[in-house]
Amino acid sequence: MQSTAEKGFIKRLGQLLEPLLVPFLAIFTAVILGGIIIKVVGGDPIAAYKGLVQGAFGSPQALSETAVWSTPYIFAGLAVALGFKGGLFNIGAEGQLAFGAVAAALIGYALPGWLHTSIPPYIHIPLAVGAGVLAGAIWGGIPGALKAYTGGHEVINTIMMNYIALNITSYLLNGPMRDPNPLNLSARTPEIAVSARIPPIFDIPGMRIHWGFVLALLMAVVVWWLLWKTTLGFEIRTVGANPDAAKYAGINVKWIITLSMALSGALAGLAGAIEVTALNYRHELGFSTGYGFDAIAIALLGKNNPFGIILAAILFGAMRNGSTRMQFLTQIPVDIISVIQALILLFVAADAIIRFIYRIRAHEERVVLTRGWGG
């Protein structure tokens, strides 16, 4: 009896860990290959990785910085994953994130002036963050509506919307929203009011970890709950898995497509808003380059599972954070991190390679991320 129970437990554990197997082996293989590359260019892989781990996890400050780096990755990764679940490929997180940051910054620095009064933080913070969420939702909702009602492909449209968003942001930060301080030489907004700032968790200099990180973890739970426990999530997943069956079941497919993209955009906007209100206290041109694109990678590595995304985001955050110390200690350029990240993605996306190397039997059903260009 005991052995059956034990077997059952091991089987359950196996089922639980099985989805982690390929991503784990992908990371492992990428690290090995990265080590070989470091060796070939004349570095010491062991020292490099030691530096990397030290930089990412070696001290309370390092841990704090890893969390800071991971925060926008978690939000934006969730954004992309939510779109994926609805059968939509949101390439536009970058633009949605930029507009979220701009909107949060505007409300953050300008609202007290408009109202000619100071605002208590418990009102100002939600307003600033909410403005960012709304801006992201609109910027994501537009390509969603275009997809639903005109059939315009969301991949093309979100890419185009990125260009529009990034150029408008550039104009705003160089023009109407530029920090008027005479000492300012860069394209950035003024600092947001103190009342709009999300405080750090610890009041210790050098520990920048803020409540936004906690909010990000919370959002993963919320997204998981929304997708798997609510009727709206059922509708989003059904539209993503089989739009014909969704229509047959009476689901308003066009509305759900629009809403999925708006929710995805909202999460990306939240990423931008949190960077402004909890970390930088302003929006500056070029601060966010790549978050929206890395988010696609993170969603892929996390298999579109909110908790997988937390792990993937922390991994990416740790690598970005640790790479500075690695470069300082070993003079190996931080760019090697981009190479390793690219390798991880390659192996996750083309998981047949990993399955072949490690002789893992393929699943009969594969994860289909999007229904392709014709979708």
Partner 1 sequence: MTENDVVLEAKEITKQFPGVLANDHVSIDLHKGEIHALLGENGAGKTTLMNILYGLYRPDSGQVFVNGKPIVIHSPKDSIQAGIGMVHQHFMLIPVFSVAENIMLGDETTHLGVLDIKAVSQRVRDLSHQYGLEVDPDTKVGQLSVGAQQRVEIVKTLYRNANILILDEPTAVLTPQETEDLFRIMRQLAARGVSIIFITHKLKEVLAVADRITVMRAGHVVGTTKPNETNEPKLASMMVGREVILTVQKQPAKPKDEVLRVEDLSVLDDRDLEVVKGVSFDVHAGEILGIAGVQGNGQTQLAEALTGLRPIKSGKVFISDKDVSGKTPRPIIETGLAHIPEDRQRHGLVLSYTVADNMVLCNYYLKPFAKWGVLQQDKVDENARRLIKDFDVRTPSPYVPTSKLSGGNQQKVIVARELSRPIKLLIASQPTRGLDVGSIEYIHKEIVAMRDRGIGVLLISAELDEIMALSDRIAVMYQGQIMDVIKAGQATKESLGLLMAGIKPSVAAEAAAPKP
Residues that bind partner 1 (CB under 8 A): 229-234, 238, 241-242, 244-252, 365
43 vs 87 by CB, closer to partner 1? 87
The owner of tokens 């909110």 is 306
Least separation in angstroms between CB 99 and partner 1: 28
Residue 83 is which amino acid?
A: G
Least separation in angstroms between CB 233 and partner 1: 8
203 vs 244 by CB, closer to partner 1? 244
108 vs 233 by CB, closer to partner 1? 233
Least separation in angstroms between CB 237 and partner 1: 8
Hey, is 175 helix, strand or coil?
coil
Q: What are the distances in angstroms from CA 146 to CA 133, 155, 232, 299? A: 20, 11, 21, 24
95 vs 306 by CB, closer to partner 1? 306
Q: What is residue 302's DSSP assignment? A: T
24 vs 248 by CB, closer to partner 1? 248
Closest CA to 97 of 65, 67, 133, 147: 133
Closest CA to 63 of 197, 201, 215, 198: 201
Q: What is residue 202's DSSP assignment? A: S
246 vs 278 by CB, closer to partner 1? 246
Least separation in angstroms between CB 225 and partner 1: 9
Least separation in angstroms between CB 245 and partner 1: 5
Hey, is 362 helix, strand or coil?
coil
Q: 1, exposed or middle or buried, with CB in 10 Å at 0-12, 13-18, 19+?
A: exposed
Least separation in angstroms between CB 356 and partner 1: 19
Neighbours of 286 (CB within 10 A): 12
**Cα(181)–Cα(91) distance, rounded to whole angstroms?**
35
